[in-house]
Amino acid sequence: MLPRLLSIDKNSDLNMQKNYAPARIESDAQAHWETQKTFKVTEDATREKFYCLSMFPYPSGKLHMGHVRNYTIGDVIARYQRMLGKNVLQPMGWDAFGLPAENAARKNQAAPAAWTYANIEYMKTQLKRLGFGYDWNRELATCQPDYYKWEQWLFTELYSKGLVYRKNAVVNWDPVDQTVLANEQVIDGRGWRSGALVERREIPQWFVKITDYADELLDEIDNLEGWPDQVRTMQRNWIGRSFGVQMDFAVQGRTNAAGAGSAGAAGIQDSDESLTIYTTRPDTLMGVTYVAVAGEHPLAVKAAQGNAELTAFIEECRQGGTSEADLETIEKKGMPLGINAIHPVSGEAVPIYAANFVLMSYGTGAVMAVPGHDERDHAFARKYGIPIKQVVHPVDGSTVDIQAAAYIEKGVLKDSGPFNDLTSEAAFDAIAEWLQERGKGEKTKNYRIRDWGVSRQRYWGTPIPMIHCEQCGTVPVPLADLPVLLPEDIVYDEDTINPIKENPAFSDCVCPDCGGKAQRETDTFDTFMESSWYYARYTCPDADAMLDERAKYWLPVDHYVGGIEHAVLHLLYARFYHRLLRDTGLVENNEPFTRLLTQGMVVADTYYREQADGSKHWYNPAEVEVERDEKGRPLQAVLSTDGQPVIIGGIEKMSKSKNNGIDPQSLIDRYGADTVRLYTMFTSPPDQSLEWNDEGVEGAYRFLKRIWALADKMGTDPDALAGKSGSVPIIFDERQKTARREIHEALQKANYDYDRQQFNTVVSACMTMVNALYKLGDAVGDQAVLHEGLGIVLRLLGPIAPHISHHLWSDLGYGDDILNSAWPVPDETALKQESIQYVVQVNGKVRAKVQAPAEADKAAVEAIALANENVQRFIGEAQVRKVIVVPNKLVNIVAK
RNA sequence: GCCCGGGUGGCGAAAUUGGUAGACGCAAGAGACUUAAAAUCUCUCGACCUUUGGGUCGUGCCGGUUCGAUUCCGGCCCCGGGCACCA
């Protein structure tokens, strides 16, 4: 089976044979895959399918290291599955809508579309240069009308099913630029361009009812066995189903105005209003000493009428960002409204406060506060001198100082009127029933997850296919009129905020129902809408429907790879969307992704100098030299150009803002794609963060050169390569047997690690093999082991460093195309050992290593261990109490 | 603030998941080859002690369970990710 090998004249192209020249090998291999259409796939009912997907990139300009890592992991899995014989689909496309295109357009005065398409073109050449095995026939970009048309269609379908609605929601408002800001554009509470203090403002927005699917999305997390526990836990917490009690507090008009100022408060009268709150701790109800409402709450708004101080406070509450992190970390402030809530059980009046940490859009915009048993309420009560009551006591009867700190554990109720001496658990039900009987409240299931707000007040996105007609109200755009095209040939300059807002050419339209004048919705979709179903569209990218029958062959995705930062939002929206597709009859299963690998971030050192204005100027690691002591600890870092020190800013995710990115392209140009792929796979396991290190890349390159040299070391004797000495099978000597055992043990390890996707140790196993092969010489037996071993190494490395593996495999005559070769399995006879090493411990400490025959039983192993001189020395005068023998591993002698 | 991870030599890591801590690689040191350098090859490489046989300590910190703990349990410290309009 070695015709090609025999025909090679090793001296004919000496340079190429002697030196590893990745550029040429890689372009040859890529040309081979291209002309053979190696990665083009179609549905084939006779073969097991495998759909391997990596999260598609945002076309930001060029690939970054995170992309390289993500796509290498995906490609390794895809190629491995292919070599196992499956019909593998691995597509690629572009998450093309988004804010950066608008920013770039503003800066470069070019249309976002042109910028995006240019980036796609360049990044595609980079992906090809890395040798990823994609079926490019299925490429898609989410900004293409034939893609977003179907998303618009689905939205109108959801509207007709009542799964879509419009309501007011809070946004970040820049009062100077008169525009909505993304959270990213709010820096320290100010607009990024104007520097103005950001305000919270409510505007009408479209929502999709993900809460209708909350139970299903939560319950089926249990079935996602191929997902990391970390992600499953995060999603469970995100959905955050809780069981609690919703109850009403009657509102009593003004009584005491303590601290509420004086002016104008007299206008408020007794009312029969009430406010509704939700709590997961009804057992603490008797400890309520105040109630807090959002600044926008009708009660607060009403109380503020004519009250300048309260009006000013409510105004202050509107300032700052809308993100949860902002709201939770701001200084908690409040102001009494001068009205009281009536405790539903005790009838006691407790003050109602407006508070800056209560948001109108979350829950009911009002919370009951129990300072004794909630940390935040406790801090607030201390600040405003509100009483702190203890109503829950530890079960063990111990006492706690409730004035010093909140007691948040469950326990036994005291000072709770009719509920005294009940446990928290019993009180939950008792209080709920008490309220229910009196029509004041009921047990409720609540979710932390909120409906998905999909409106964005931006240009570069999918137009929301809705029309506002004065006669007919809101009317969805009918399928025949889809897609609602986003105009791409628009003018963009520094002052452009949004070319489709206040643009009659876009917004003026005719009502599909009455034919009268109407206005288009000018908001666009959240880009998560596009990324929530792209995996399905890849199966039938040219379908004249959202999806066709092909989706049923390929879905679900068997393996999905992407960043851990998508653990909740993207992955939850995609799970939700898949169910929407299912309930529209487009897919047949419940979950989109069977197995998930969340890859860690690529991180690197950061360096900066403080500027005069207090800001930081970040220097790229390539511009900095680090001085180290003899142990390699960094002493200081200096800028190469001026030799002056820079501050070492610690290790952070590679990013533009910290300027600590390493451009993959320069590494590919210098070392080739295989080295970059190998390095990223070897340095860290896929799910951990990867710390960048230039010398490590050099090491990966060195390893590939060693393999290249090994190929050169292999002779051409056809008998040796066939495992024969003349016509007789080779009898291996001890040294050769040892080499074979090392190789097959490493193979066993590599296969185990391929299966659990720990690719760094797959590479380690390959290195171990190569080290063993380097010890072999020219003897016939050595050559046979070398030939066998290198064949194994090439196939193990095939998915990781595909170009060199492809080249050597065919060049050395192992076969035609390595992708079509059989995956290697360990040879049992090579693994067999006559004697086994046991570690002998005395009282848990290693004291000796002994050899025992492989067939020795426990008693025999024990005897051999006890016979050891060092073991006897440590037993000394003590009595042997117990001997533990772990087969094939260890003996522990317990002596006292 | 809340939720989720992580912490092992000078560095990245490994330990088939309760059984030899540090595989594999980087950096460093020594040697071989070379006129020389680079490249390549070989060896050493956790800390401390040592009579050179070996011994003691060591996986962020404190405690516990166990014949035996990087691994399990309780408490703490530090670092990172996500927090709904970055993608």
Nucleotide closest in space to A211 (CA vs C1'): B84
Q: Which helix (H) or strand (E) holds A247?
A: strand A242-252
CA A718, A722, A724: angle at the middle one, nearest 5? Answer: 95
What is the 3 state secondary structure string of A418-439? HHCCCEHHHHHHHHHHHHHHCC
Query: Residue A729 is which amino acid?
Result: P
Answer for A653: CB within 7 Å of strand B.
yes
Q: What is the β-pairing status of strands A164-174 and A199-208?
A: antiparallel
Nucleotide closest in space to A447 (CA vs C1'): B84
Answer for A767: CB within 7 Å of strand B.
yes
Q: What is the β-pairing status of strands A835-842 and A890-895?
A: parallel
Report how far apart the first and last C-alpha atoms of chain A are (Å, whole number): 65
The whole-number Å distance from A844's CA to B46's C1' is: 21
DSSP A441-497: EEEEEE-S---EE-EE--SSSPBP-EEEETTTEEEEPPGGG---PPP-S----TT-S
Residue whose C-alpha is closest to residue A526's, from A488, A468, A577, A592: A577
The secondary structure of chain A in percent helix, strand, coil, rounded to multiples of 5, reads 40, 20, 40
A146 contacts A92 by C-beta, under 8 angstroms: no
A550 contacts A542 by C-beta, under 8 angstroms: no
Q: Tell me what pLDDT residue A721 has.
A: 75
The model's pTM: 0.92
SS3 category, A206: strand
DSSP A438-454: TTSEEEEEE-S---EE-
Q: Tell me what pLDDT residue A10 has.
A: 36
Please, is A110 exposed, middle or buried when counting C-beta atoms within 10 Å of its C-beta (0-12, 13-18, 19+)? Answer: middle
Which residue is closest to B11 in terms of CA–C1' distance? A632
With a threshold of 0.90, tell me whether the complex ipTM lies above it. Answer: yes
Answer for A761: CB within 7 Å of strand B.
yes
Distance CA A131, CA A53 (A): 16
A413 contacts A420 by C-beta, under 8 angstroms: yes
Distance CA A173, CA A201 (A): 6
Nucleotide closest in space to A19 (CA vs C1'): B39
Q: Tell me what pLDDT residue A607 has.
A: 84
Residue whose C-alpha is closest to residue A799's, from A76, A40, A38: A76
Q: Tell me what pLDDT residue A632 has.
A: 59
Nucleotide closest in space to A843 (CA vs C1'): B67
Q: What is the β-pairing status of strands A199-208 and A452-453?
A: antiparallel
The set of strand B positions with any atom below 7 Å of a protein CB reads 1-6, 10-17, 19-21, 23-28, 39-42, 54-57, 67-69, 79-87
Distance CA A113, CA A105 (A): 9
Q: Using one digit for the tens of pLDDT, what is the confidence trace for A572-595?
A: 999 999 999 999 999 999 999 999
SS3 category, A821: coil
Q: Tell me what pLDDT residue A125 has.
A: 98
- For chain A, residues with pLDDT lower than 70 are 1-18, 254-272, 628-635
Answer for A638: CB within 7 Å of strand B.
no
Answer for A749: CB within 7 Å of strand B.
yes
Answer for A845: CB within 7 Å of strand B.
yes
Residue whose C-alpha is closest to residue A154's, from A629, A598, A533, A449: A533
Provide the token pair at A234. Answer: 């995060």
Distance CA A49, CA A322 (A): 45
Distance CA A22, CA A704 (A): 10
Nucleotide closest in space to A234 (CA vs C1'): B4
Q: Tell me what pLDDT residue A529 has.
A: 98
Residue whose C-alpha is closest to residue A80's, from A686, A721, A588: A686
DSSP A619: E
Residues of A (698-727) placing their beta carbon closer than 7 angstroms to any atom of strand B are: 698-700, 702-703, 705-706, 709
Distance CA A40, CA A34 (A): 9
The whole-number Å distance from A882's CA to B50's C1' is: 32
Q: Tell me what pLDDT residue A634 has.
A: 65
Distance CA A308, CA A314 (A): 10
Please, is A27 exposed, middle or buried when counting C-beta atoms within 10 Å of its C-beta (0-12, 13-18, 19+)? Answer: middle
Provide the token pair at A659. Answer: 């300027």
Residues of A (130-149) placing their beta carbon closer than 7 angstroms to any atom of strand B are: none
Residues of A (310-329) placing their beta carbon closer than 7 angstroms to any atom of strand B are: 322-325, 328-329
A305 contacts A269 by C-beta, under 8 angstroms: no
The whole-number Å distance from A462's CA to B10's C1' is: 53
- CA–CA distances in Å: residue A371 to residues A18, A351, A379: 77, 13, 8
Residue whose C-alpha is closest to residue A104's, from A149, A62, A68, A70: A62
The whole-number Å distance from A551's CA to B17's C1' is: 38
A357 contacts A385 by C-beta, under 8 angstroms: no
Q: Tell me what pLDDT residue A86 has.
A: 97
The whole-number Å distance from A749's CA to B52's C1' is: 36
Cα Rg of chain A (Å, integer):
34
The whole-number Å distance from A70's CA to B11's C1' is: 24
**Beta-ladder partners of A647:** A608
Provide the token pair at A843. Answer: 């009282």
Distance CA A157, CA A787 (A): 62
A566 contacts A55 by C-beta, under 8 angstroms: yes
Q: Which helix (H) or strand (E) holds A168?
A: strand A164-174
